[in-house]
Amino acid sequence: MKKYLLLFIIAVFAMSCSKKVEVKGKITGGSPLERIEFIEASGVATLPLANIGLKNDGTFSGTFEAPKSGMYVVSYGGKQNLIYLKGGQTLNISGNGATFPMEYVITGDAKKDNDFFMATQKYLTNYAQTVNMNELMMKDENTFIKGVQKVEADINKNIDENVKKFNPDKEIINWKKNDVASTLLSIMTQYQLRQQQMSGNPSFKSSKAFTDYENKLQENKDVMVKENPVYRQYLLTKMSPDFQKYAEAKSKGKTDVTTSELFAEYLKSKKDLSQTAKDYLLAFVMAQSDIHPTTPEKTIEKIKKIIDEDIKDATIKSDLKKIQFAINGFKVGEPAPEASLIKQDDKSYNLSENKGKPYMITFYASWNPYIGEATVPVLKEVVNFYKSKMNFVFVNVDDTKEQFVKTSNSLLKGITGVNVYGKGGLDSDIAKKYGVYGFKLPCFIIVDKDGKIASKPFFNLGDPELVTVLDKQTGLTAPKVDPRVQLQPGMSIDPSAMQPAPEQPANPQPAPTK
């Protein structure tokens, strides 16, 4: 009897510690070509945790690992919103295709926390219309501080009222209050910078009352820097003038120094910041400034070194390495890894079957609009020109094998190459090994005749660098093409496109200028 009791206790403990979130629901009027994605909102340079497709009737289901309880970005149809999730939950979420996820209905495990969150957000929207923050910014410092304190009191009063109404978990209550404090700090920084500019005094300092209130708002700074990107932005804004002077002095006469290198060195002198804060701020700067598809190989190696040596937090280090790999791919010269692939007849396929001849891997899915609208016609031309000297492997990452068969037969009909499927789509073995995500599709990687990676991931068949690699691997010389051909929005690139959506601002004014 004791044995069974022990097994039951272990099972309950395992369930309580589960990080898996089950998602299901329906989007009325939703399109199977649109995908639902979830991204951790408090992380740094985090990648989508789930990419879930809709069925023809608008229903959907899927699972993903939630790294921790907290706020997540839910994305659909180019729109984003925040949602609070905990590991082990079943998320039942529904909405209308025209407004989801800006508006959604939740039932089940996550209901009370998200009802609380949505109620506080609705209050803030209405409250913002009652406060003239621009006018408050023009006031003297004492009047400004009292005005901000009143805003804080009003918002926290509403939070307390909604706590009684919805009885949410303590974690989301604390998150919401810290979110309010973070946004108020951002407003105060904007006021402080404005006052300094108006004074014309580079040594301008705010009063003790102003500083004391700032310190009061960030009493939970160790938690805030981990959970609130708005607070990290506040810290960066505060140190921006000082860092600008430092960077100008250190980079004088240098042409190849990166922002990440300068900021990493600058942070070493900031004795007032915890190592955790330094890790989050450095990671944010690296993701924004030096991790993008056009990053030179030399800079990629510099960033890897900074991640290894200057980032101490294991989770942040891991997240940065993942995003850098997703964006920049393998190092040229590394062996191309094998992965589980099947053909339409269910026979397995190995990439190594191409050894002895260079080949190009094309990753695609039916729901990605660029594969049909722009890529296929150009792809056909590329294949026809180079097919005598190299092979082509088309890897489908649709959700099911049936969709793979349908898609490959329609889109790739008449194009020379091997059509294969990564079972599980974006959760497949090959997608994980090659760092393939929805925002990367379609994507092209060149492998040489010895089975080694010969290029970074390309997202544009008209990229002159891709043409150079193809010419080098085949010994052919392609005609010049327009490098703008089938360029994907977001891939040439603003690196912030990889970041979670900005937090829904808990402030009664437009978001402060970054």
pLDDT band at 513 (very low <50, low <70, confident <90, very high): very low
pLDDT at residue 222, as a whole number: 94
Residues 6+ apart with CB under 8 A from 211: none
CA atoms within 13 A on the CB side of 151: 28
Over residues 359-379, mean pLDDT: 89
pLDDT of residue 484: 52
Is the Cβ–Cβ distance between 74 and 37 less than 8 Å? yes
Q: Which amino acid is at 471?
A: D
CA separation, residue 167 to residues 9, 68, 85, 162 (Å): 28, 21, 16, 8
341-493 domain in CATH 3.40.30.10? Answer: yes
Cβ burial of 206 (10 Å; 0-12, 13-18, 19+) is: middle
pLDDT at 481: 57
Strand 90-96: give its sheet, edge to edge.
59-65, 20-28, 90-96, 105-108
Distance CA 297, CA 328 (A): 9
Which pair of structure tokens corresponds to residue 176? Answer: 């919401």
pLDDT per residue as tens digits for the range 172-210: 999 999 999 999 999 999 999 999 888 887 778 899 999
Q: Please report, as a single letter, which amino acid is at residue 293.
A: P
Domain definitions of the chain by residue range? 19-109, 110-219, 226-328, 341-493
Predicted TM-score (pTM) of the model is 0.86
pLDDT surpassing 80 at residue 495: no
Q: Do domains 19-109 and 341-493 have the same CATH topology?
A: no
Report pLDDT for 254. Answer: 85
Quick one: the chain helix, strand, coil %, rounded to 5? Answer: 50, 15, 35
The per-residue pLDDT for 482 is: 57
Distances (CA, A) of 273 to 182, 280, 282, 312: 16, 11, 12, 14
Average pLDDT, the chain: 89
In the structure, what pLDDT confidence band is assigned to residue 256 with cuts at 50, 70 and 90? confident
Let me know if domain 19-109 sits in CATH 2.60.40: yes
Residues 6+ apart with CB under 8 A from 251: 257, 262
pLDDT tens digits for 289-326?
999 988 999 999 999 999 999 999 999 999 999 999 99
